C-alpha cells in the first residue's frame, strides 16, 4: 500500500504504474510465502482442504483457492502451482507456519510432506502489455505463459500465470540466483517497480491480499472470486457446508468493493465507513491512483450499500 492515510502520494508512482500496464514492469514480492507439498497423497489432501478442484488440475497449471476452517472462514488465499511431482502454494508474506500447522493436523496416515520454501526461493511479478515479449527475450525457452499455465524453465525457474493484481506472471527462482535474475529481466527491457505501484493495480482489479484485506473472520464469497477460486461441484471439503449454504441463499452480508475517496480530511486503513452515523463498512487498502489523480481504496461494505455508484458519504463512492 502506498500509504496508511491519504496524505503522501509518491512522485514516481505514475511511471511505474504505466510500466506495469502499458509496458513491462517487475515487482519484487519480498518475503512472499511459498509452501511445498510432496508425497503420493498431496493432491487428495489439498483437494479435501481447499475450495478449488485440485484433482481436476493438470500438471503445469495454476489455480486460485481459499483454505477454510470448519466454519467456512478463510484461513488462507493461495495460488496453487501444480507440478509433476509436487505442489507449491504461493501467497502473501507470513502465512507459511500457520497454513502448514493447519493442514498438517489433518495428516494421519497420508503420505504428505510440507516444507516452507519462503527463505529458499524469491518471487517477483512481471506485468504489462509488453511483459510477454520481454519475458520471452529474458527466458528463451519460456513457452509464452498462457492463462493458468505453469512452466519450469531449463534454468530451473518457475514462471506461472497468476492474478495477483490483474494478469501477470509470477517468476520464482532460487534465493541465491535472485539478484542475477532480476538484472537479467531488467536488461530485457522490464522496469523495476515498487510494491506501491503493484498495489495500485491490485486496487484497480479489486484483488484481495491475505493479511491486508482478508483475515480469518471473512467468508470466501464476500470476496467475489467464486469463478476463480471456488468449485461448487467438487464434493466435500473442510468448510464446504458453509460455502454451499451461502450459495443456496445467494448472498452474504458484506461485499468486497473498490471506492473513490475525495475527502480533504485524512482517511486511513482500518477506518470504519459510516452512513447516517452507523458503521456499514471498513477500508482495508488505500492507494494514490496517479493516473486518475485521486485516492482509491478497497474494503468491505454492507451488501445493501454495495452497488456501483452508491454514495456512502459525500467523500466515499463505491466504484465497483
Which H, E and C letters describe 248-288, residue by residue?
A: HHCCCCEEEEEEEECCCCCCECCCEEEECCEEEEEEEEEEE
Mean pLDDT rounded to a whole number for the chain: 94
Instruction: Give the pLDDT of residue 182.
Output: 95
- Average pLDDT for 25-36: 98
Could you say which architecture CATH assigns to the domain 204-318?
Beta Barrel (2.40)
> The whole model's pTM is what?
0.95
What are the start and end residues of each CATH 3.30.1360.120 domain in the chain?
13-194
Q: Which CATH number fits domain 13-194: 3.65.10.10, 3.30.450.20, 3.30.1360.120, 3.40.50.1220?
A: 3.30.1360.120
Instruction: Give the pLDDT of residue 314.
Output: 83
Q: What Å distances lie between residue 57 and 61, 81, 122, 234, 274, CA to CA?
A: 7, 10, 24, 12, 43
Cα–Cα distance measured from residue 226 to residue 247, given in angstroms and rounded to the nearest whole number: 10
Query: Taking 80 as the threshold, does the pLDDT of residue 4 lie above it?
Result: no
- When pLDDT is cut at 50, 70 and 90, the band that residue 217 belongs to is very high
**Least confident interval from 8-22, 35-49, 68-82:** 8-22
What are the start and end residues of each CATH 2.40.30.160 domain in the chain?
204-318
pLDDT tens string 77-110: 999 999 999 999 999 999 999 999 999 999 999 9
Answer left, alpha or beta for residue 225, where phi above 0 means left and psi between -120 and 50 means alpha: alpha
Instruction: Give the pLDDT of residue 264.
Output: 84
Cell numbers found for residue 37 = 507439498
Percent of the chain beyond pLDDT 70?
A: 97
Query: Taking 50 as the threshold, does the pLDDT of residue 28 lie above it?
Result: yes
pLDDT tens string 245-281: 999 988 899 999 999 999 888 889 999 998 988 999 9
Amino acid at each position: 500500500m502506498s500509504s496508511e492515510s491519504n496524505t503522501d502520494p509518491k512522485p514516481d508512482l505514475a511511471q511505474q504504474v504505466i510500466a506495469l500496464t502499458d509496458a513491462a514492469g517487475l515487482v519484487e514480492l519480498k518475503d512472499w510465502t511459498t509452501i511445498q507439498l510432496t508425497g503420493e497423497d498431496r493432491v487428495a489432501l489439498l483437494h479435501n482442504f481447499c475450495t478449488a478442484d485440485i484433482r481436476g488440475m493438470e500438471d503445469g497449471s495454476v489455480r486460485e483457492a481459499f483454505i477454510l476452517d470448519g466454519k467456512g472462514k478463510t484461513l488462507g488465499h493461495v495460488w496453487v502451482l501444480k507440478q509433476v511431482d509436487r505442489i507449491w502454494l504461493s501467497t502473501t508474506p507470513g502465512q507459511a507456519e500457520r497454513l502448514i500447522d493447519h493442514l498438517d493436523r489433518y495428516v494421519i496416515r497420508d503420505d504428505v510432506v510440507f516444507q516452507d520454501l519462503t527463505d529458499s526461493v524469491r518471487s517477483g511479478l512481471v506485468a504489462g502489455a509488453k511483459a510477454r515479449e520481454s519475458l520471452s527475450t529474458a527466458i528463451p525457452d519460456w513457452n509464452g505463459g498462457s492463462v493458468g499455465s505453469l512452466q519450469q524453465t531449463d534454468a530451473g525457474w518457475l514462471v506461472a500465470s497468476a492474478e495477483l493484481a490483474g494478469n501477470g506472471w509470477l517468476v520464482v527462482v532460487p534465493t541465491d540466483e535472485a539478484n542475477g535474475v532480476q538484472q537479467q529481466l531488467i536488461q530485457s527491457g522490464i522496469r523495476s517497480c515498487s510494491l506501491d505501484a503493484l498495489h495500485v493495480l491490485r486496487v484497480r482489479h479489486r484483488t484481495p491480499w491475505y493479511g491486508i484485506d482478508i483475515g480469518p473472520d471473512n467468508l470466501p464469497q464476500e470476496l467475489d472470486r467464486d469463478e476463480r477460486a471456488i468449485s461448487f461441484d467438487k464434493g466435500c471439503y473442510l468448510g464446504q457446508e458453509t460455502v454451499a449454504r451461502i450459495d443456496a441463499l445467494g448472498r452474504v452480508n458484506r461485499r468486497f468493493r473498490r471506492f473513490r475517496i475525495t475527502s480533504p480530511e485524512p482517511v486511513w486503513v482500518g477506518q470504519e465507513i459510516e452512513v447516517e452515523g452507523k458503521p456499514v463498512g471498513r477500508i482495508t487498502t488505500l492507494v494514490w491512483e496517479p493516473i486518475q489523480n485521486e485516492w482509491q481504496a478497497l474494503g468491505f461494505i454492507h451488501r445493501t450499500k454495495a452497488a456501483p455508484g452508491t454514495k456512502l458519504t459525500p467523500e466515499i463512492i463505491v466504484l465497483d
